[in-house]
Amino acid sequence: MASNVSSRVSDNKALLSLNGRFDFSIHRDFRSNYETILNTAGVNELDVDLNGVDYIDSSALGMLLLLREKATAKNIKMTLVNPKDSVRQVLEVANFGRLFSIT
């Protein structure tokens, strides 16, 4: 399965990049990556890069909600970045624009 999660932190900014299918099958990788980010001192911005994602399902939306909750608790501003049109549509139907900033 071509699906992976990677993360990078530089100064106060963290980037969490997702690729391929974003569904429950990657939740372990997803969690270990965001835990690293949340445990890094000084991070106050988190961009979740969705550009490489070509499919997103409802459990993935749930994973994003969970991350949002955890980021908010640590005063980290979370942004969903660059979704492809098909993914953007799913986010729109879910009205995630009201919950996340999406760029």
Partner 1 sequence: MKILVVDDSPESLLLLKQHFLTLGHETLTATNGAEAVTAYQDGLPDLVIMDVEMPVMNGYQATARIRHIDHRRWVPILFLSANTDDSERTKGLEAGGDDYLVKPVNLFLLNNKILALRRVADMQEQVARYARQLQANLEQNRDERLLARYLLDHIIRQDKAEPDLVTSWVSPAQHFSGDVVMTARSPGNELNVLLADATGHGLSAAISVIPVIESFYSMTEKGFSLASIVRELNRKVKQLLPIDRFVAAAVISIDFTNRTIRIWNGGAPEVFFVSDGGNILRTWQSTQPALGILSDAEFDSVPQFFYWQEAGEVVMCSDGLPEAEDSNKIPFSMTQFKQLLGRPYGTGRFNLVKESLKAHIEGSQQLDDISLVTVRCCMESAAAGLAEQSSQSQHSADAGHSCWRLKLCLGAQEIKKLDVLPLIMNWLDQLHIGGHNRGQAFLVLSELFNNALDHGILKLDSQFKQDPHGFEQYIELREARLSALKEGTVEVEMERLNIEGQDRLSIKVKDSGPGFDFVGMIAKRESAPDQFSGRGIMLVKQLCIKLEYLGNGNEAFAIFSLN
Binding residues for partner 1, per CB under 8 A? 23-24, 57-59, 61-63, 65-66, 69, 90, 92-96, 98-99
- In angstroms, what CA-CA distances link 67 with 1, 2, 44, 85? 23, 23, 14, 22
Measured from the CB atom, is 8 or 74 closer to partner 1? Answer: 74
First to last CA, the chain: 27
- Closest distance to partner 1 from the beta carbon of 66 (Å): 4
Measured from the CB atom, is 82 or 100 closer to partner 1? Answer: 100
